[in-house]
Amino acid sequence: MKKSSISRRNFLSKSAVVGAAGVVAPAIISGCSRGPVPFKPVPEGKWLDEAPDGPVLKAGVIGCGGRGKGAAVNFLSAGPNLQIVALGDTFRDRLDDCKATIKEKKGQEVPEENCFVGFDAFQKVIDSGVDIIILATPPSFRPEHLAAAVAARKHVFAEKPVCVDPTGARSVMATALKAKELGLTIVTGTQRRHQRNYVANFTQVAAGAIGEIVGGNAYWNGGKLWHTPNNPTWSEMEWMIRNWVNWTWLSGDHIVEQHVHNLDVINWFTGKHPVAARGMGSRQRRVTGDQFDNFSIDFVFENGMHVHSMCRQINGCWNSVSERIQGTKGYTDCAENLYDLAGTEIWKYAYPLDDEGKPAKGKMKDPYVQEHIDLVTAIRTNQPFNELENTAISTMTGIMGRISAYTGKETTWDEMMNSDLKLGPTVFAFGPVDVPKEVPISGEAYVEKK
């Protein structure tokens, strides 16, 4: 297991790759201060506010829902000479909506002959003569779409998470390595890795600002997410896909679908992934589907370190979407601040100033655009950048947590790497869907002894 984990050095070299592309400067490894030397911040890297110019890059969007629409606009905002020339979705209305948005916001018209609808739309988009594929369908389809895009030697922007089960995770890991061998660039929607305050904070932590990392917390406690009520004209398949954030086989459950952001930050900062999960969770207020609406997982790392993760989608509770990492010399919120062990702030991210001359978070480059700037920059400067394997590992981390909560048992990374679990139906067609629909119940029922 240790060999697969991504070492901090790997992460550093990755930052260095991007740095060489002019996005983040690599001056990181210098100041590993020991003893009571006052903390000296490491200089931050330089960021590009826009990708460099170059020949036209054409992208096709697969999955035209809310995120696909958003990613399309983000992509077109990343720099000059960028086009969206093909769209694919299971549903025509979603595709039309995306098409209209691109026209309205960016003035580009996607030609009708490049608009594809149906379960096989993805391959048609890939084959439509594009350079970049934007994948934003529900994550259950991602492993197949990623494999097809890489087989066609396309650069990819893939939304997180990148799979919903261990079989999918291994497939994506292999696809990531194939893409690496081919020199393809793949950016995934774990945008904290492209968020300037996070990257600056990581730079300090990697340089030893809080000492050795000894533990942490990850939170995605928020309100109820959306659901789509049934419509009598829809088949079961259509309703499930339109309501995908409520079905485990489509989304991976919210610990995978949403909380993967925070788990990815933990893996990023620690340079490791957990080797076991001991979790619990339940369903209290979710309206549709088969998912839980709360998880609490104790993640165990190889060196005995524990990180606690908590996620919830219930209205009217304590909310926080954040991470906290504890080191031997202090702790960090992974974003704006570093503190010493006494809780005194030792570093604060310098946000750009607003009109009144005050630091304003809102003035920081939108990370959803930044990730596309990084994507286009890597392609145009011919410095391949591939974060897919990291995201597969973080997605697998969430899957391991989910299974541990569903079963009420400790679940190990080894088990995940050796599991043949594959969710979802074997055939994709509109009609009834042959999947288990009951909400998982852990443990054994009490039986009265006679």
Partner 1 sequence: MKRFLVWFLPGLIIGALLIIGGRKALDKTSTNEYCMSCHIHPAADNSWKRSVHYETQSGYRVACVECHLPPKGKGYLWAKGTTGLRDLWSYWTKDSASFDWNERGRLEHARIYTYESSCIKCHENLFPLKLTKAGEDAHLYYRQTKKTPDLHCINCHLNAGHYIEGYTHGSNKTFGSVSSSPKEIFTEPVKVAGFASFTEQIPNSSVSFKMVAIPGGKFNMGSPDDEPLRKADEGPVREVEISPFFMAEVEVTWDEYLAFYAQTAAEGKSSDTELMKSKRQLEADAISGATPPYGQPDQGWGMGKRPAISFTYHAAETYCKWLSKVTGKTYRLPTEAEWEYSCRGGTTTPYFFPGDPEKFEKSGFRAKLSKNDTAVINSYIIYRENSPSKTQEPSRVKANPFGLKNMTGNVAEFCSDWYQPDAYSNYSEELIVDPKGPDSGEEHVIRGGSFLDMAGRVRSAARNQTRTDDWLKTDPQIPKSIWWYSDCFNVGFRVVCEFDEKTGKL
| 151 binds partner 1, rule: CB under 8 A | yes
Number of residues that bind partner 1 (CB under 8 A): 29
| 171 binds partner 1, rule: CB under 8 A | yes
| Residue burial 162-192, b: 16+ Cβ < 10 Å; e: rest | bbbbbebbbbbbbbbeebbeeebbbbbbbbb
Give the integer Cα–Cα distance in Å for 56 and 378.
Answer: 14
| Residue burial 83-93, b: 16+ Cβ < 10 Å; e: rest | bbbbbbbbbee
271 torsion bin: left (phi>0), alpha (psi -120 to 50), beta (else): left
- Out of 55, 420, 448, 449, point to the residue binding partner 1 (CB under 8 A): 420
| 182 binds partner 1, rule: CB under 8 A | yes
Taking CB under 8 A as the rule, which mask of x and - marks residues 423-442 in contact with partner 1? -----------------xxx
**CB-nearer residue toward partner 1: 168 or 216:** 168
**CB-nearer residue toward partner 1: 171 or 201:** 171
> In angstroms, how far apart are the furthest CA atoms of the chain?
79
Output the smallest distance, CB 396 to partner 1, in A. Answer: 12
What tokens does 329 get? 């010399």
What tokens does 427 get? 């055939």
| 180 binds partner 1, rule: CB under 8 A | yes
DSSP one-letter code for 141: G
**CB-nearer residue toward partner 1: 171 or 191:** 171
| 230 binds partner 1, rule: CB under 8 A | no
Output the smallest distance, CB 407 to partner 1, in A. Answer: 6
| 446 binds partner 1, rule: CB under 8 A | no
| 150 binds partner 1, rule: CB under 8 A | yes
| 419 binds partner 1, rule: CB under 8 A | yes
3-state SS class at 24: coil
Contact status, residue 170 vs residue 373, Cβ threshold 8 Å: no
Output the smallest distance, CB 13 to partner 1, in A. Answer: 18
Cβ partners under 8 Å of residue 405, min gap 6: 255, 279, 280, 281, 292, 295, 296, 297, 442
Output the smallest distance, CB 163 to partner 1, in A. Answer: 13
Give the integer Cα–Cα distance in Å for 169 and 398.
Answer: 11
3-state SS class at 107: coil
Site for partner 1 in 368-397 (CB under 8 A): none
| 315 binds partner 1, rule: CB under 8 A | no
3-state SS class at 237: helix
What tokens does 198 get? 């996070």
**CB-nearer residue toward partner 1: 178 or 224:** 178
Contact status, residue 201 vs residue 335, Cβ threshold 8 Å: yes
- Out of 97, 333, 366, 415, point to the residue binding partner 1 (CB under 8 A): 415
Q: Judged by CB under 8 A, which stretch of 257-265, 302-310, 365-373, 412-420 contacts partner 1?
A: 412-420
| 181 binds partner 1, rule: CB under 8 A | yes
| 4 binds partner 1, rule: CB under 8 A | yes
| 403 binds partner 1, rule: CB under 8 A | yes
Q: Bridge partners of 386?
A: 186
| 30 binds partner 1, rule: CB under 8 A | no
In what helix (H) or strand (E) does residue 49 lie, and over which residues does it extend?
none
- Out of 108, 167, 296, 383, point to the residue binding partner 1 (CB under 8 A): 167
| 170 binds partner 1, rule: CB under 8 A | yes
Tell me, rounded to whole angstroms, the distance of Cα 49 from its chain centroid. Answer: 22
Tell me, rounded to whole angstroms, the distance of Cα 221 from its chain centroid. Answer: 17
| 314 binds partner 1, rule: CB under 8 A | no
DSSP one-letter code for 33: -
- The residues binding partner 1 (CB under 8 A) are 1, 3-4, 150-151, 167, 170-171, 173-174, 177-178, 180-182, 403, 406-407, 409, 411, 415, 417-421, 440-442
